[in-house]
Amino acid sequence: LGVQIKPWRRDGDHLIVATQSETFFRVRLGISRDEWTQDVLSQLRRHTDREIIVCHK
């Protein structure tokens, strides 16, 4: 593919949370994507003050 992967960064201005489809959450986890996202955001906010960007599939 000719893509070069950059090293993992521990600094920066934001975090990205990339979610799966709503169907994945309902079938595999038994909860909605929104419920999962709110739980993850709540946990992340306890550990960082960086901006959190959520990208839905």
pLDDT at site 36: 97
Q: How far is CA 49 from CA 4, 7, 20, 26, in A?
A: 29, 22, 24, 30
| Within-domain flag for 40 | yes
Tokens of residue 52, six digits: 């959190």
2-50: per-residue pLDDT in tens? 999 999 888 889 999 999 999 999 999 999 999 999 999 999 999 999 9
| Within-domain flag for 51 | yes
| Within-domain flag for 43 | yes
Measure the CA–CA gap between 21 and 10, rounded to whole angstroms: 27
Work out whether the CA dihedral 44, 48, 53, 55 comes out positive or negative. Answer: negative
| Within-domain flag for 9 | no
| Within-domain flag for 3 | no
pLDDT at 55 over 90: yes
pLDDT at site 9: 85
* pTM (global) more than 0.85: no
pLDDT at site 1: 85
Report how many domains make up the chain. Answer: 1
Determine the structural domain holding residue 28 and report its residue range. Answer: 14-55
| Within-domain flag for 6 | no
Tokens of residue 30, six digits: 């038994």
